[in-house]
Amino acid sequence: MAEDISNKALAVLLVVAIVISVVGTWSVIRSAKITGYATNVTTQTGTASLTVTGNLIIDLTDTTIDLGNLEIADTNRSENVDGGVGDFFEAENDGSVDMDVKAYNGTELWDTASTPTEYWMVYCNSTTDAGATCNETYGPVPADSTSAVTLIESLGNTAGSRSFKAGVNVSVPLLEGSGSKSGSVIFLALQA
């Protein structure tokens, strides 16, 4: 029977040791607050930066003006075409900066009169940009870019307010021969 008590005592001691071990492990884990994820997480912010360069892009959306049939000494201008509806060069600022637009001769209109001449003139008819200055006075088409005439100043690049119309005024010289005539105007965009 002494052996039984010893075995019983041993079994009790073993159970007590297991309970103490489990309770001890549980209390250590609980006091350490182990939750399965890090509790000291920090954040950092990264910044991407860039610079958009200024781009000058002028888009001529209407490239022709048809002034009809004229005789020697006749005059016609953009406003009078199509019964007063008008026919104009139309352009937009598709760039990323405000621009000034100048104009000069690309190809001569007349065989008997070279630019600049009162027989071939250009001006700014209108703009959708209320902040821009539109030169609404006809002036001779200059011969080259060094003497280009300013049509519009500070044309913005905001949607809905970035376009303008330019018109021409022609008078047929007295000695001009008959036939089809065409001259071109070059539009030069400069950063405002």
- So where are the chain's domains? 58-191
pLDDT tens by residue, 86-101: 999 999 999 999 999 9
pTM of the full structure: 0.73
The answer to whether residue 40 scores a pLDDT higher than 80 is no
Determine the Cα angle at 55 with ends 122 and 50, to 5°: 165
| Residue 26 φ/ψ, nearest 5 degrees | -65, -45
HSE at residue 15, side-chain half, CA atoms within 13 A, is 6
Report how far apart the first and last C-alpha atoms of the chain are (Å, whole number).
112
Top-confidence residue, 190 or 37: 190
Rounded mean pLDDT of the chain? Answer: 89
Which residues have a Cβ under 8 Å from the Cβ of 144 and sit 6 or more positions away? 104, 105
Tell me the pLDDT band of 29, cut-offs 50, 70 and 90: low
Q: Which pLDDT belongs to residue 84?
A: 81
What are 133-187's pLDDT values in tens digits? 999 999 999 999 999 999 999 999 988 889 999 999 999 999 999 999 999 999 9
Q: Specify the DSSP class assigned to residue 114.
A: P
Which of these, 107, 19, 95, 4, lies nearest to 58 by C-alpha position?
Answer: 95
CATH number for domain 58-191, candidates 2.60.40, 3.30.1560, 1.20.120, 2.60.120: 2.60.40
